[in-house]
């Protein structure tokens, strides 16, 4: 069984989680679940980033550990609610992570890639980043557009500039390293037009106490971004579980939002190369969810709370799957989306209630009405009426999922759903029943139930609870969840049990 290692960023605990955090983990969870049903041994890492000035400030320098414990717990609870199937939740306050960071600093220092120098320039406390005058846009931080302060300070630096030409060449030889293509072009353009500045990887304790001790100088702590990136190797045992590290590294894909692409596509590969480690296979930067075309932010008061949405969508597994579906279906991963509650409700009512929910509910009712819930058929071929859309779905499903083209995969699934719905309308089973065409009716109902079985497997990575509910109503269990079962007439017959509709219509405005 081949391995698959995927990660989300670790989330900064200076504030509570929002829809953007939910989105990244839902994307990663969808891919992780697909890889598991594709017979891959998956390790899915997520967690929280718990050091730095913003956290020290947010906690007001009082009992910072209790503060980060509470906020980290909020992320754990959100991911549990969202049905995120991670394998390990890392916190940068774990001792093994701190030990790993210290070990890596020692390695890089001994290699000559870390040096001590004085910095004279600008600093953005919000982004915790040093900047030169040429980096500023109208005197403001280029990332958060806020005021910066002038800083003159002695610190430790990592030699990013030493590796700029290597990174440019590596990216040109490996164009799939950064996805989507627009983000790859962005990074290449940046490297072609901007000399890399060596990365300041320490902060003096006279300014910041809340951080990992800088192992080669007790007057300093480690810069939060250097500390945070190391989680991708500490979380699978670089320092303390070497066999596990050997098994899973390199990562197959790192997911993150596009605003932290530079750290993952420039800092991280250079750090790994300097350490003599293999690079991840792919860095995937997804887009933002905006509200009225504006990026969500606390200062604008337009943050969307996923837990509130789940409640408004009916709560429980139904509300969770409705939100998961919307986020994965509304836009291709990689593009920005514009969030509105109206579009969410319309998508749930149209796709989940009308198309999927109605198909399952009326199909099971027909099976119950005409054959007391027990269906088999001697005819095993795919009905000609939906063979084309079935073949399209099965032919492309795995490739689309592996390439994180979830939007198109869902398009194909729902095209097949709608084709089966049309098949029911065209065949008019009530007339077949009235005319005593028992064999034809039996094959008709067997075919739509077989189609629903295949749909439930394809939908599992996206809306896992709903998929399991469908399988349960077909009296099938989790052993069905394998892409090897995406073959027509895999089942001899069905014995069904009807439950309430999957997604009742929502009238919430």
Alpha carbons 464 and 171: distance in angstroms, whole number: 36
Query: φ, ψ for residue 413 (rounded to 5)?
Result: -65, -45
Residue whose entry in the numeric block shows the structure tokens 């077989």: 450
Whole-number percent of the chain with pLDDT over 90:
80
For helices 438-459 and 406-427, what crossing angle results, to 10°? 170
Alpha carbons 342 and 312: distance in angstroms, whole number: 12
**What single-letter DSSP state applies at residue 483?**
G
Cis peptide before 428 (omega within 30 of 0): no
As a whole number, mean pLDDT of residues 301-325 equals 92
328, 331, 332, 333: CA torsion to nearest 10: -60
Alpha carbons 95 and 97: distance in angstroms, whole number: 5
Confidence of residue 298 (pLDDT cuts 50, 70, 90): low
Lowest-pLDDT range of 111-115, 231-235, 326-330, 497-501: 497-501
233, 237, 242, 246: CA torsion to nearest 10: -50
Lowest-pLDDT range of 8-12, 428-432, 482-486: 428-432
Contact assessment for residue 355 and residue 421, using Cβ atoms and an 8 Å cutoff: yes
Around 53, how many Cα atoms within 13 Å sit in the side-chain half-sphere? 16
As a whole number, mean pLDDT of residues 247-259 equals 97
End-to-end C-alpha distance for the chain, whole angstroms: 48
Structural domain boundaries of the chain? 341-495
pLDDT digits (tens, 9 = 90+) for 46-60: 999 999 988 988 888
Contact assessment for residue 461 and residue 27, using Cβ atoms and an 8 Å cutoff: no
**DSSP bridge pairs for 45:** 7, 88
The predicted model scores a pTM of: 0.95
Alpha carbons 136 and 144: distance in angstroms, whole number: 11
Q: Is 333 helix (H, G, I), strand (E, B) or coil?
A: strand
As a whole number, mean pLDDT of residues 378-388 equals 87
Q: Is 12 helix (H, G, I), strand (E, B) or coil?
A: strand
Contact assessment for residue 290 and residue 339, using Cβ atoms and an 8 Å cutoff: yes
pLDDT digits (tens, 9 = 90+) for 132-163: 777 888 889 987 888 988 888 899 999 999 99
Contact assessment for residue 124 and residue 148, using Cβ atoms and an 8 Å cutoff: yes
Confidence of residue 295 (pLDDT cuts 50, 70, 90): confident
Is residue 1 exposed (0-12), middle (13-18) or buried (19+ Cβ within 10 Å)?
Answer: exposed
The predicted pLDDT at position 181 comes to 96
Alpha carbons 480 and 466: distance in angstroms, whole number: 14
Closest to 429 in 3D by CA, of 166, 51, 437 = 437
Alpha carbons 66 and 82: distance in angstroms, whole number: 25
Alpha carbons 206 and 151: distance in angstroms, whole number: 14
Confidence of residue 508 (pLDDT cuts 50, 70, 90): low
Closest to 130 in 3D by CA, of 96, 169, 157, 112 = 157
The predicted pLDDT at position 299 comes to 63
pLDDT digits (tens, 9 = 90+) for 281-292: 999 999 998 887
Closest to 169 in 3D by CA, of 192, 152, 140, 186 = 192
Please tell me the CATH superfamily of domain 341-495, with its number.
Isoleucyl-tRNA Synthetase; Domain 1 (1.10.730.10)
The predicted pLDDT at position 209 comes to 92
Average pLDDT, the chain: 93
Residue 302 reports pLDDT greater than 60: yes
Contact assessment for residue 133 and residue 197, using Cβ atoms and an 8 Å cutoff: no
Residue 45 reports pLDDT greater than 60: yes
Closest to 317 in 3D by CA, of 505, 82, 58 = 82
């Amino acid at each position: 069984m081949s391995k698959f290692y995927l990660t989300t960023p670790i989330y900064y605990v200076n504030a509570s989680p929002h829809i953007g955090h939910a989105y990244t983990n839902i994307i990663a969870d969808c891919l992780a679940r697909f890889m598991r049903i594709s017979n891959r041994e998956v390790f899915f890492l997520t967690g929280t980033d718990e050091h730095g000035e913003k956290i020290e400030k947010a906690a007001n320098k009082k009992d910072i550990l209790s503060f980060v414990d509470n906020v980290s717990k909020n992320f754990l609870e959100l991911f549990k609610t969202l049905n995120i199937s991670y394998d390990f939740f890392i916190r940068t306050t774990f001792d093994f992570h701190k030990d790993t960071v210290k070990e890596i600093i020692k390695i890089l220092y001994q290699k000559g890639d870390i040096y001590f120098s004085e910095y004279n320039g600008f600093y953005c406390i919000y982004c915790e980043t040093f900047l030169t005058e040429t980096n500023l846009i109208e005197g403001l931080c280029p990332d958060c557009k806020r005021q910066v302060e002038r800083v003159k300070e002695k610190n430790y630096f990592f030699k990013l500039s030493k590796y700029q030409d290597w990174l440019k060449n590596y990216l040109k030889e490996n164009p799939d390293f950064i996805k989507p293509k627009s983000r790859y072009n962005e990074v290449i353009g940046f490297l072609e037009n901007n000399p890399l500045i060596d990365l300041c990887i320490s902060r003096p304790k006279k300014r910041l106490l809340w951080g990992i001790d800088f192992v080669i100088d007790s007057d300093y702590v480690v810069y939060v971004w250097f500390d945070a990136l190391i989680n991708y190797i500490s979380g699978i045992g670089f320092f303390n579980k070497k066999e596990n590290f050997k098994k899973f590294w390199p990562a197959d894909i790192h997911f993150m939002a596009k605003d932290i692409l530079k750290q993952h596509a420039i800092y991280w590969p250079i750090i790994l190369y300097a350490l003599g480690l293999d690079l991840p296979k792919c860095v995937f930067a997804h887009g933002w969810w905006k509200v009225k075309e504006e990026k969500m932010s606390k200062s604008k008061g337009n943050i969307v709370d996923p837990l509130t949405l789940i409640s408004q969508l009916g709560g429980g597994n139904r509300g969770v799957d409705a939100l998961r579906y919307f986020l994965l279906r509304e836009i291709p991963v990689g593009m920005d989306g514009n969030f509105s509650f109206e579009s969410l409700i319309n998508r749930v009512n149209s796709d989940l209630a009308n198309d999927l929910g109605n198909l399952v509910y009326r199909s099971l009712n027909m099976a119950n009405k005409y054959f007391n819930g027990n269906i088999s058929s001697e005819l095993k071929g795919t009905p000609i009426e939906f063979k084309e859309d079935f073949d399209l779905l099965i032919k492309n499903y795995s490739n689309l999922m592996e390439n994180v083209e979830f939007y198109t995969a869902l398009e194909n699934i729902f095209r097949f759903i709608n084709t089966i719905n049309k098949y029911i309308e065209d065949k008019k089973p009530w007339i077949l029943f009235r005319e005593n065409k028992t064999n034809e009716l039996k094959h008709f109902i067997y075919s739509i139930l077989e189609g629903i079985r295949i749909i439930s497997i394809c939908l599992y990575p996206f809306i896992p609870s709903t998929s399991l509910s469908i399988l349960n109503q077909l009296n099938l269990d989790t052993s069905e969840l394998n892409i090897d079962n995406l073959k027509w007439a895999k089942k001899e017959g069905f014995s069904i049990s009807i439950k309430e509709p999957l997604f009742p219509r929502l009238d919430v405005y």
